[in-house]
Amino acid sequence: MAEPSPILAAEGISLRFGGVRALTDVSFHVNRGEIFSIIGPNGAGKTSMVNCISGRYRPTEGRVLFDGQDITRIGTNRRAALGLGRTFQNLALFGHMSVLDNIMVGRHHLLKTGFLRGMLYWVGGAQQEELAHRREVEEIIDFLEIQHVRKAPAGTLPYGLRKRVELARAVALKPKLILLDEPMAGMNLEEKEDMARFVVDLNEEWGMTVLMIEHDMGVVMDISHRVMVLDFGRKIAEGRPEEVLADPHVRRAYLGEADEVTQPAEEVV
């Protein structure tokens, strides 16, 4: 059987802010068609790494390869056009716009009709193009089960639904690789179960490769194919979920376990 091909590779990524090192010589790859999770304590460098991949930050050292192309120095819009989608830890929706319009924003880079042709909306191709995009957005709305709020202003929705709308907007980019920054943060158990199901279905039914940051270890272990652990900006483990969880370095860094059990001193009488 052929080895899976990487869709993303980070090679020797280091990131500094002044004298502070956020990442130090981190290398890993994400295989095409897998769910790959990055875990670690708060401040471990997880979001910094995703920012380097999405283009918000430029690494101080190292490079990022996407689908065989070096994207280290290209902008976020170009990366989106190449097939990189992203959600954020802090919601970045347009609160005054409807759910439908928020999702339509995610398809802006796919529009092909130019300005002059767009002026001839009713006789040119712009109307047909918009209708085609609307059909695809409606399919995403149905998939994420948000039909009942499609016309509601995004800012009026409960938190769990807003997270779902942001996922919909990222999916609307038609990404080959979708970056999810804590997609289940702040959710109750039922909302987490729904979101985990959507992530798995995006991977298995829609064919999207997923790179996810998530603190809920139960979710990570249940749905991830492979996991990488960061601690203080360094990679300390990478592999299948069960292998990573059993690693003593991970248990010490992430779960706070000591290397060995210290026996209590005998009481002095």
234-261 pLDDT tens trace: 999 999 999 998 998 888 876 665 544 3
Backbone torsions φ then ψ of 238, nearest 5 degrees: -160, 135
Give the pLDDT of residue 173. Answer: 87
CA 46 to CA 183: how far, in whole Å? 13
* Cβ atoms of residues 172 and 106 within 8 Å: yes
**264 pLDDT exceeds 60?**
no
Q: CA 188 to CA 195: how far, in whole Å?
A: 11
C-alpha dihedral (254, 258, 259, 262), degrees to nearest 10: -170
With DSSP H G I counted as helix, E B as strand and the rest as coil, what are the percentages for the chain, rounded to 5?
A: 40, 25, 35
Give, as one character, the DSSP assignment of residue 265.
P
Query: What confidence category does residue 121 fall into, taking pLDDT thresholds of 50, 70 and 90?
Result: very low
Whole-number Å distance between alpha carbons of 122 and 236: 58
Per-residue pLDDT, 87: 85
| SS3 assignment, position 245 | helix
pLDDT tens digit sequence for 45-79: 999 999 999 999 999 999 999 999 999 999 988 99
Q: Name the band, by pLDDT with cuts 50, 70 and 90, for residue 134.
A: confident
Measured CA to CA, the distance from residue 233 to residue 254 in angstroms comes to 13
Residue 158 pLDDT greater than 90, yes or no:
yes
Spatial contact of 11 and 63, defined as CB atoms under 8 Å apart:
yes
Number of C-beta neighbours around residue 96 at 10 A: 11
Tell me the CA distances in angstroms from 31 to 53, 102, 256, one per residue in order. Answer: 15, 30, 30
Distances in Å between the Cα of 240 and the Cα atoms of 17, 81, 142 are: 32, 31, 32
Name which of 94, 109, 202 is nearest 156 in CA terms: 94
pTM (two decimals): 0.85
Residue keyed to tokens 């998530």: 214
* The two structure tokens encoding residue 59: 């690494």
- Residue-range domains of the chain with CATH: 6-83+175-254 (3.40.50.300)
Are 27 and 12 in contact by the 8 Å Cβ rule? The answer is: yes
Q: Which residues contact 175 (CB under 8 A, 6 or more apart)?
A: 80, 83, 84, 85, 208
Q: Is the CB of residue 11 less than 8 Å from the CB of residue 203?
A: no
Inform me whether the pLDDT recorded for 94 exceeds 90: no
Q: Are 46 and 39 in contact (CB under 8 A)?
A: yes
